């Protein structure tokens, strides 16, 4: 039992059904407190890491919540950025999924390198749409958040003894909503080894878990789940800093 994770991730355990699963499942809440749980009906291991609010569009120059007008998709065609927005509205800002898309696009086009720095010393801000831009500081915010989550997952699996290939399902929840491109977040270094068809995005796992509990549709009770939870303390891991710095970079050949 632990009180080191929040009620959101506890409700998320209910929402994805991992407490009733015979197979190994990973649940990741991409928020300011990056919380994650791995396991099955026998045992659940959990941890949390300070990821920062970049995945929720916060602390990003033109960041915003995933609402109408938020850029959720970014491509580069015919020498210019082409964006997709939530609700088809004119671009107002960049939400978490749009941040993933923008960074991936810049990396694939060679505008930034694997360290997150520009490959052209004369390049300044990246203008994605009228009034919406991305800076190198924004990219660094993404890298810090991505590294925190990736490091947390690495230690969680190491502590639990679960191998990456043992995961039959990876659930992602948090501020990214329905718009996360799994292949792109993998390409940027998050759970790259897990096949894309094993991912499922849960837009609001906390709300769904509460609904299941209130309507009596769940089978595992709150106390039952808590008794199976084992907390993995990242703060005592001697190699945390080295692994965190390694995860700051983007994968490269």
All structural domains of the chain with their residue ranges: 7-51+140-248, 54-134
Q: What is the CB neighbour count within 10 angstroms for residue 196? A: 12
**31 or 150, higher pLDDT:** 150
Segment 192-215 mean pLDDT: 81
**34 or 128, higher pLDDT:** 128
Most confident option among 162-166, 176-180, 201-205:
162-166
> pLDDT at residue 121 above 80?
no
> pLDDT at residue 34 above 50?
yes
Q: Are 96 and 176 in contact (CB under 8 A)?
A: yes
- What was the pLDDT predicted at 2? 43
| Paired tokens of 83 | 């964006």
What pTM was computed for the model? 0.88
* Residue 196 CB partners (closer than 8 Å, separation 6+): 182, 183, 186
Segment 179-191 mean pLDDT: 90
Predicted confidence band at 1 (pLDDT cuts at 50, 70, 90)?
very low
pLDDT for 70-114, tens place per residue?
999 999 999 999 999 999 999 999 999 999 999 999 999 999 999
The rounded mean pLDDT for the chain is: 87
15 φ, ψ (degrees, to nearest 5): -60, -40
> pLDDT at residue 252 above 80?
no
pLDDT for 2-24, tens place per residue?
445 677 888 888 888 888 899 99
Segment 234-248 mean pLDDT: 85
Which whole-number Å values give the CA distances from 231 to 31, 44, 48, 93, 148, in the listed order?
A: 19, 9, 9, 37, 17
- What was the pLDDT predicted at 220? 60
CATH architecture of residue range(s) 7-51+140-248? 2-Layer Sandwich (3.30)
- What was the pLDDT predicted at 3? 45
Segment 118-147 mean pLDDT: 89
Q: How far apart are CA 32 and CA 50, in angstroms?
A: 6
Can you tell me which residue has the tokens 């960041």?
63
Segment 141-160 mean pLDDT: 92
Quote the percentage of the chain above a pLDDT of 70. 93
Q: Are 16 and 36 in contact (CB under 8 A)?
A: no
């Amino acid at each position: 039992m632990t009180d080191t994770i929040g009620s959101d991730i506890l409700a998320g355990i209910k929402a994805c059904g991992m407490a009733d699963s015979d197979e190994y499942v990973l649940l990741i809440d991409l928020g300011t407190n990056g919380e994650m749980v791995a396991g099955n009906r026998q045992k659940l291991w959990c941890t949390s890491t300070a990821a920062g609010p970049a995945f929720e569009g916060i602390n990003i120059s033109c960041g915003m919540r995933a609402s109408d007008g938020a850029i959720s998709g970014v491509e580069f065609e015919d020498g210019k950025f082409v964006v997709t927005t939530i609700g088809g509205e004119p671009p107002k800002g960049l939400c978490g999924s749009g941040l993933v898309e923008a960074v991936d696009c810049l990396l694939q086009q060679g505008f930034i390198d694997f360290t997150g720095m520009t490959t052209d010393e004369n390049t300044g801000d990246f203008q994605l749409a009228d009034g919406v831009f991305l800076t190198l500081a924004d990219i660094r915010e993404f890298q810090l958040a991505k590294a925190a989550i990736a490091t947390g997952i690495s230690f969680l699996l190491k502590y639990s003894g679960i191998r990456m290939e043992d995961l039959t399902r990876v659930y992602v929840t948090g501020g990214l909503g329905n718009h996360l491109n799994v292949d792109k977040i993998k390409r940027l270094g998050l759970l790259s080894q897990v096949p894309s068809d094993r991912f499922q995005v849960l837009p609001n796992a906390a709300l769904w878990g509460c609904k299941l509990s209130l309507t009596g549709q769940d089978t595992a009770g709150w106390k039952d789940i808590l008794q199976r939870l084992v907390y993995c303390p990242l703060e005592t891991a001697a190699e945390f800093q080295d692994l965190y710095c390694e995860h700051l970079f983007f994968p490269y050949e």
